[in-house]
Amino acid sequence: MVPSTKRKFVPTVVCLGLAWAGCQSAWVSPTAAEIRISNDIVLHPIAAGVWVHTTFSDVPGYGRVPANGLVVIDGREAMLIDLPWTDELTAALCDWIAESHGAKVATVVPTHFHEDCMGGLAEAQRRGAVSYGLDRTIEIARQKGLPIPQIPYRYRTTVRCGRTTAVVTYFGAGHTTDNVVAWLPGQKVLFAGCLVKSMDSNSLGNTKDGDLAAYPATLRKVQAAYSQARIVVPGHGDWGGPELIDHTLRLCRDETPMTGG
């Protein structure tokens, strides 16, 4: 665990030349900017008050694996949509938010039960964050002895961070039977999580907890609901636009169950 004493972060920022004024929904390339908190935590701004956090973990059999989530900051409040892999990484991210932006992580929203989404849930709750979880996610967490999100919802909930709104919705099974997506309407950002794959992915990855038969129909519902999305963020790899959903639908065509990735 990371000690609770304050640490001074000196993040490295690369190629940060983005003008936010009047640009609430500006698309930002994954290579446009980088804020490196540590070797295992990197952030990229993608819209006003919104960053992709990418954290790394050594996964047996797969090596060093990155996983994405969102940081949303509005005033003195912050929200995490998906948490880092571990309590230690979550503590470091929360400390950076506090020291760099004067904000406290008040809300966390895991998009399914895997550790790349809610591995740091216990640390976030220890720090006083309120957590939201799909009823299916909570049921699975109880069965597996995992930390349990506090506020259940069924199908859809609206979560606020200051004046920023996130709409979290369950469209059906895919990567897992409990995967949800989070939509930021003000920024037109869709955090699709592990349901959607990056353009360089050549398979659906780990589907052992999912439903390959339902996967395409779930993606089409997401696609229809958020056709206006300007930025689509997958659970792993580079983000882009709605073409990521089309790419994932193509991967569904000949996919067979896999246990890795």
Classify strands 181-184 and 189-193 as parallel, antiparallel or unpaired. Answer: antiparallel
How many other β-carbons are positioned within 10 Å of the β-carbon of residue 228? 11
| DSSP structural state of residue 8 | -
Partner residues linked to 233 by β-bridges: 191
Is residue 112 within 8 Å of 193, Cβ to Cβ? Answer: yes
Which active-site residues does the annotation give?
A: 112, 114, 116, 175, 194, 197, 206, 236
Could you please report the per-residue DSSP string of 67-117?
Answer: EEEEEEEETTEEEEES--SSHHHHHHHHHHHHHHHS-EEEEEE-SSSSHHH
